Amino acid sequence: MARKSAQRRLAAILSADVVGYSRLMERDEAGTLDRLKALRKSVIDPATASHGGRIVKTMGDGILVEFPSAVAAVEYAIAFQVGITDVGEGEEEDRRIRFRVGVNLGDVIIDGDDIFGDGVNVAARLEALCATGSVYISGSIHEQIVGKVDSVFDDLGEQSV
């Protein structure tokens, strides 16, 4: 049986997850879910739309978003973190929802509405390395945004992901 060729494209991929999600859910499942839904409605969905992104999937404590542009992905990531921080102002520290975000530019395989491949995997690995409330970007993203995004990124050197 002949294998159908996979559809591929280059994409900027953002992977984000909630820091301390298990602790938050253990403490207050319903309240945590309500706060996540409110963040999605007030920050995540509007920022995704305004930056030309597409939410590929959500996974309990995480979100995977695809962008056609590295600049749009990074500008979104920054707006995302600022919006999440602003909404969390005034909440008790142990109840605040905070994210870490990884962004990568890479080739993806398209399967229906989902995406797969090393491009996605690297974004997820960067997010796992990321400090709370921060955005970590790959070298391929950095090459695309130099001089185009009004933010400074520290070079953390080569990372094994």
- Evaluate whether residue 161 is within a structural domain: no
Q: Residue 34: pLDDT band by 50, 70, 90 thresholds?
A: very high
27 found inside a domain: yes
Query: What are the pLDDT digits (tens) for 113-127?
Result: 999 999 999 999 999
**The 3-state secondary structure of 118-146, one letter per residue:** HHHHHHHHHHHHCCCCCEEECHHHHHHHC
The verdict on residue 19 lying in a domain is yes
pLDDT in tens, 43-101: 999 999 999 999 999 998 999 999 999 999 999 999 999 999 998 888 888 889 999 99
Helical pair 70-88 and 29-39, crossing angle rounded to 10 deg? 130
Considering the entire predicted model, what is its pTM?
0.91
Q: Has residue 1 been placed in a domain?
A: no
CATH of the domain at 62: 3.30.70.1230
Write down the H helix ranges in the chain.
21-27, 29-39, 45-50, 70-88, 118-129, 139-145
At 55 the pLDDT is 97
Question: Can you give the residue range of the structural domain that contains 38?
Answer: 7-145
Residue 158 inside a domain? The answer is no
Residue 98 CB coordination number (10 Å): 16
Within a domain: 39: yes
Residue 59 falls within a domain, yes or no?
yes
Number of structural domains found in the chain: 1
Number of Cβ within 10 Å of residue 114's Cβ equals 13
Which amino acid, 160? Answer: S
